[in-house]
Chains A and B, each alone.
Chain A
Amino acid sequence: MESLVYIALFAPFVGSLFAGLFFARSPKNIIVGIVNPALIGLSLLASIILAFYVAEHGAVHVTMMDWISAGSLHIPFGFIVDKVSVTMMIVVTTVSTVVHVYSNGYMDHDKSFNRFFSYLSAFVFSMMILVMSDNFAGLFIGWEGVGVCSWLLIGFWYHKKDVTPDINPAISPSYAANEAFIMNRIADLGMLVGIFLIYWNVGSLQYDVVFKALPHLTDGILVAIAIGLFIGAMGKSAQFPLHTWLTDAMEGPTPVSALIHAATMVTAGVFLVIRANPLFGMEAVQGVSYFIAALGTFVAFYAASMALVNRDLKRIIAYSTLSQLGYMFAAAGLGAYWIALFHLAAHAFFKALLFLGAGNVMHAMDDELDLFKMGGLKKAMRGTYIYMGVASLALAGLPPLAGYFSKDAIIETAFNEGTLVLWGMLVFTAGLTAFYSFRQVFLTFEGEERYKLFGFHPHEMYKYVLIAMSPLAILAVVAGWFQGSFHEFIITLLPEYEMSHHTHHLAGKLGLIVLAFAITGIVIAYFKYARRGEKAFKQDEKVENGFIYKLLINQYYVPDFYVEFIVKPYKAISEKFWAIDKAVVDGTVDMIAKVIYTTGDKTRTIQNGNLSSYLNWMGAGTLLLILAAAVVAVMS
């Protein structure tokens, strides 16, 4: 089994090197387009075999070699494949395989085709390290690795130039890439502090050792560790207030958005909380866990509200990702780790599908993203319409699709915990989710064919790409049906979460409430956006000048706040510091030198070669010496 672990882990790495080293400078090479997806597929295969093995025989633990050992710190490259990590491995490799095949079509005409595959496979490798590592330092390797790959891929079209925020809120791909990297680094500092705390209080970073030692630690330390790790999770999973990078990250190519900024990397934070469930489940850190749940719920609502008014195809999906991540954190914070993991997996499938569908639309519309310039695309793009419809249904949580089961379980959990405010918000957000997803679908595919005004000639994506997307579509439909077996599979590792009798009793009614909200959302969206002719959708000036619309379209002015109160002051202070450095710090040094120099310059006139002035100085000196002698004599 060890060799399978290594195959699962290193196959993407081999692919990255293959594309990066041999084809980096050559034009598009179809070999890369075949070999790389095949290698990821190999990794998927290995993961599936491992899953069956793990289900039967328990976790596989391998230690490859030592990494860092200094003092009493010993960090190995160790990998553990247990039920949690194997679930993540399958999710990651499944979505990656589809995205790799899809990219063949999407990046068809890009001159950096090979480079793209190199980065994409490197990302998968980092993500596999992240989920498979058996210690916090190894997790951090993957954590930073996916960060760098995300940086490379968001800034993939680095040659685009910076524009003002009112043309493109993300300014430019390279700007968005830097923003994402730096914002993640802020969170990483929190994570590092958490790791340091673990090391100095436990003496090891291995998961098993740490989790065993947790009961012996004081409450304060536990809370501090939990906060540190969660700050790390907040950055990667783009939770408020570190969320602004995710929407700007949509500057990357769409397959990247599907893989990294929807299905896998952004769920790393949720994965961390699930992985560290022995910590977050402890009595002492219940406060932190509740905060996680509350923040998750808030983000779920907050992001959904911004998605209501946005006109950008990809940004709406990005907000919905944020919102769904909020759901996952809500579940994890409330102690329902397996439900969070379940939603993570289900969300990965339908969200990736949604993004890939959006990619098809962009491909058809010459990279146009404005929904108001689309409409009625269903004729030209039937396959994509079906895919995006299915994905949106799943996202909206309609039975029997995947989202229905996973999201419903989360909402039920919130009810079960008695946190009715969270429950209410989550239910309401479910309604919003349904509305904005279908607003997007209808604006794109139904209604008047507005694109004709702008001279677009949409065409369907290549057939093989559509076929390649089908596994995701199937999973988006059926994933929910396996809730029971997944529960059985995972529950030996993650703590059981049981609904109380009372909740169980009400489950049917609760589900109906959620469903009612969701259907209402879809119906409103239909009437507003899907109809043609007389009642076709038109922009409403009055609404668009309203306060709430302005607030939402400007993302609650949070990005502006960051620019005004963090970016600009930082620049100003830096400039000031530089001025100080030159004038004061260096100035002092130069002044000392100058004083010495001028003193020499002034006193050199003594040496003027005139005997008379020499004699004068000699006389003065003699007098001074006599005086000094006299003073000393008197003193003593």
Chain B
Amino acid sequence: MIGVSHYLILSGLLFSIGFMGVLRRKNLLMLFFATEVMLNAVNIAFAAVGNYYGDLSGQMFAFFIIAVAASEVAVGLGLLILLYKKYGSLDLDVISSMKG
């Protein structure tokens, strides 16, 4: 029987994968993908927990996040294109401008 805990474990795994991606990747596009994975991991958790409590607000939040994520991707990808046009690369080491 697949219970709420299985969903949560899946969510946790996906979140970790996304988190590792955020930490390890150097390409901005890949970073975007990784954040999407993390967002969707959270969505799974919301849906599962909402279902478990019989509360619709969990699924509502999941939809809400999907909508926000979509618009964010739209804006973000636009910015990425501009960055690519400016630097010719999306590698973080290349486009960092502060010398610290």
Interface residues of A (CB under 8 A from B): 604-612, 615-616, 619
Q: Is the CB of A610 within 8 A of B96?
A: yes
Number of interface residues of B (CB under 8 A): 14
Q: Is the CB of A608 within 8 A of B23?
A: no
Choose one: A607, A608, A612; the contact of B26 (CB below 8 Å). Answer: A612
The total of Cβ contacts below 8 Å across the A-B interface reads: 33
Choose one: B19, B31, B92; the contact of A619 (CB below 8 Å). Answer: B19
Q: Is the CB of A607 within 8 A of B98?
A: yes
Instruction: State whether A612 and B19 are in contact (beta carbons under 8 Å apart), knowing that A605-B100, A607-B98 are contacts in the complex.
Output: no
User: Can you list 9 A-B pairs, Cβ within 8 angstroms, ordered by A?
Assistant: A608-B100, A609-B96, A609-B97, A609-B99, A611-B28, A611-B31, A611-B96, A616-B23, A619-B23
Measured between beta carbons, the chain B residues less than 8 angstroms from A607 are: 98, 100
Measured between beta carbons, the chain B residues less than 8 angstroms from A615 are: 22-23, 31
Measured between beta carbons, the chain B residues less than 8 angstroms from A616 are: 23
Choose one: B92, B97, B98; the contact of A612 (CB below 8 Å). Answer: B92
B10-38 interface with A by 8 A CB criterion: 19, 22-23, 25-26, 28, 31
Q: Is the CB of A608 within 8 A of B22?
A: no
Query: Closest B-chain residue to A620, C-beta based?
Result: B23
Measured between beta carbons, the chain A residues less than 8 angstroms from B92 are: 610-612
B76: min CB distance to chain A, Å: 13
Q: Is the CB of B93 within 8 A of A610?
A: yes
Interface residues of B (CB under 8 A from A): 19, 22-23, 25-26, 28, 31, 92-93, 96-100
- The CA-CA distance from A605 to B98 in the complex, in Å, is 10
The 5 closest A-B pairs by CB, nearest first: A609-B98, A608-B100, A609-B96, A610-B96, A612-B92
Query: Closest A-chain residue to B28, C-beta based?
Result: A611
Q: Knowing that A605-B100, A607-B98, A612-B23 are A-B contacts, what are 13 other residue pairs whose CB atoms are under 8 Å apart, sorted by A's residue number? A: A607-B100, A608-B98, A608-B99, A609-B98, A609-B99, A609-B100, A610-B93, A610-B96, A612-B25, A612-B92, A615-B22, A616-B23, A619-B22
- The CA-CA distance from A611 to B93 in the complex, in Å, is 8
Measured between beta carbons, the chain B residues less than 8 angstroms from A612 are: 23, 25-26, 92-93
Measured between beta carbons, the chain A residues less than 8 angstroms from B100 are: 604-609
- The CA-CA distance from A616 to B93 in the complex, in Å, is 14
- The CA-CA distance from A461 to B6 in the complex, in Å, is 127
B87: min CB distance to chain A, Å: 13
Query: Closest B-chain residue to A623, C-beta based?
Result: B19
B45: min CB distance to chain A, Å: 16
- The CA-CA distance from A261 to B60 in the complex, in Å, is 111
- The CA-CA distance from A605 to B31 in the complex, in Å, is 22
- The CA-CA distance from A612 to B96 in the complex, in Å, is 9
Measured between beta carbons, the chain A residues less than 8 angstroms from B97 are: 609
Measured between beta carbons, the chain B residues less than 8 angstroms from A610 are: 92-93, 96
Measured between beta carbons, the chain B residues less than 8 angstroms from A606 are: 100
Measured between beta carbons, the chain A residues less than 8 angstroms from B25 are: 612
Q: Is the CB of A608 within 8 A of B96?
A: yes
Query: Closest B-chain residue to A606, C-beta based?
Result: B100
Measured between beta carbons, the chain A residues less than 8 angstroms from B96 are: 608-611
A553: min CB distance to chain B, Å: 78
- The CA-CA distance from A268 to B56 in the complex, in Å, is 110
- The CA-CA distance from A609 to B96 in the complex, in Å, is 5
B98: min CB distance to chain A, Å: 3
- The CA-CA distance from A605 to B92 in the complex, in Å, is 16
- The CA-CA distance from A610 to B100 in the complex, in Å, is 9
Query: Closest B-chain residue to A609, C-beta based?
Result: B98
- The CA-CA distance from A272 to B33 in the complex, in Å, is 102
Most interface-central of B23, B28, B31, B98 (chain A CB within 10 A)? B23
A598: min CB distance to chain B, Å: 16
B95: min CB distance to chain A, Å: 8
- The CA-CA distance from A241 to B98 in the complex, in Å, is 76
- The CA-CA distance from A605 to B100 in the complex, in Å, is 5
- The CA-CA distance from A615 to B99 in the complex, in Å, is 17
- The CA-CA distance from A576 to B63 in the complex, in Å, is 78
- The CA-CA distance from A604 to B96 in the complex, in Å, is 15
- The CA-CA distance from A619 to B19 in the complex, in Å, is 8
A434: min CB distance to chain B, Å: 94
